[in-house]
Chains A and B, each alone.
Chain A
């Protein structure tokens, strides 16, 4: 599994927790940070 696939899978799990109103762990918040840094990388 490449990085993009791994990220998508993990993010789906985090997204479900957010939708269910569950608290996120520090590691999950770190995953969201990494994702947003990658997403914003294309900005000029």
Chain B
């Protein structure tokens, strides 16, 4: 069997490299004839080589400092040497799983036969050829209704069909450590020292046979000390250890000895999914738990029910309301349940937490299926509109992008939520009409182009109308924000049509607008079924 050479480009952070590793592990398990080269930044992947070399045949680490010298010409020459080395490998496929600028240029410049993910054309325009990368570009870290974990999206981009669960070879070993990573890259994403001290205090009180290891980088030293030296922990300070600025292999070993990991969304949480350490993730600020929750079964995530959660990187926030919406008692209670290998259920939590504490947060739980991983609310008794749309999109995207017909349990909504949902029927209907008009104008252009002497003025008029429709789609998105993922995905698809002339471009766009019609019809039907019979719908609208 011929070996196929594939370059996997991942130039973003450590967490992304670990998520890439998981997806590529699956690729390798499904195809034995691949030679896989990872191209990553040294500062993000360098510490992970001990893990990466278990899957990748070759790892190329880019160190910008080594490329940049005193003058431009020498710097470009050094970069050229690197590029030529990569070109000489003659990759059959280059997969860009990172969405930053440099990765797009690099993917283009290594001259592989095929590419997926972001590339650039010679006019410097972003080009994304495959549907799943287009979806990722349009939705991830932007909207709030993406139902897929990033690892699964990476797997779909790579063409994988299934999930490859790791085996816990250390399950029989006694584990007395609790690893805590109470830090994150952004202040909005992590709690302060006092809250963490309270959690540690309660965990150690309820689980006296365990000891806590706080892990972090050298930048986290002061914060780590302020947790460990907190007066609340005075009676247990011999059981609280700091593991700061250690190699990632050291953190990995620590996690293999840990019965529990607690932290925010960070690379340590993804490493805990490599060691299969039961984990509790506290999601705050910009974190979208469905996208970035560690990819393993034994994970619980807590998210605040704050209306502004999740926010965006650009949002400035001084009061951090989402930080107060997750009670520290919830973290320590769930932590103790996971330590004792108990199932985390709503019933158990209700016994130990007050209704006020329960109602201020959403508890998510992972379930690993053959094809993918799902992150669902612990209780489905009170779905909200956003969660419901996530369920609808799961059905739509699986059908549209994976050709997979999945079954889901319809959402259960309160009367107030049903009112909002009914309002969305109008938005979806409006969008359906816009895509129908796009089909009409595309057909009109194609009709004109089929004439011996096409009327340029008529064609330009139709193109202008289609541009107006783009503008109206944006207005619809403002009025119905939960339709953003659908509108953005189809827009990204539309601008990435690969035709060589106007006719080919319009033909491809016509297919996308028809897809838009089918998707809006399906979404309308899902909403209608949720809202109920038309009489109920009318009553709701009249309220």
Contact = CB atoms under 8 A, between A and B. Distances in A.
**Chain A: interface secondary structure?**
helix
Name the residue in B65, B72, B83 with the highest tally of chain A Cβ atoms < 10 Å from its Cβ. Answer: B72
Which has the most chain B C-beta neighbours within 10 Å: A26, A29, A33, A38? A33
B76 A30 contact: yes
B11 A33 contact: no
Nearest to A19: B124
A24 B80 CA distance: 17
B72 A3 contact: yes
Nearest to B70: A3
A34 B122 CA distance: 16
Contacts of B72: 3, 6-7, 10
Nearest to A41: B64
A21 B123 contact: yes
A5 to B, nearest CB: 9
Given A24-B123, A37-B102, A43 B70 contact: no
Interface centre among B12, B65, B69, B101 (most CB of A within 10 A): B101
Nearest to A31: B76
Interface residues of A, number: 27
A36 B83 contact: no
A6 to B, nearest CB: 4
Contacts of B239: none
Contacts of A23: 122-123
Interface in B47-83: 62, 64-65, 67-72, 75-76, 79-80, 83
A33 B102 contact: yes
B333 interface: no
A7 B83 CA distance: 19
B80 A30 contact: yes
B124 A34 contact: no
A30 B109 contact: yes
B252 interface: no
Contacts of B11: 40
A10 B73 CA distance: 11
Given A32-B105, A43-B12, 20 more contacts: A2-B70, A2-B71, A3-B68, A3-B70, A3-B71, A3-B75, A18-B124, A24-B124, A27-B76, A29-B120, A30-B76, A30-B83, A31-B76, A34-B68, A36-B101, A36-B105, A38-B64, A39-B101, A40-B100, A43-B13
Interface of B: 11-13, 62, 64-65, 67-72, 75-76, 79-80, 83, 100-102, 105-106, 108-109, 120, 122-124, 185
5 contacts: A24-B123, A29-B124, A32-B101, A32-B105, A44-B13
Q: Which 4 A-B pairs have the closest CB atoms?
A: A36-B101, A33-B105, A6-B72, A36-B102
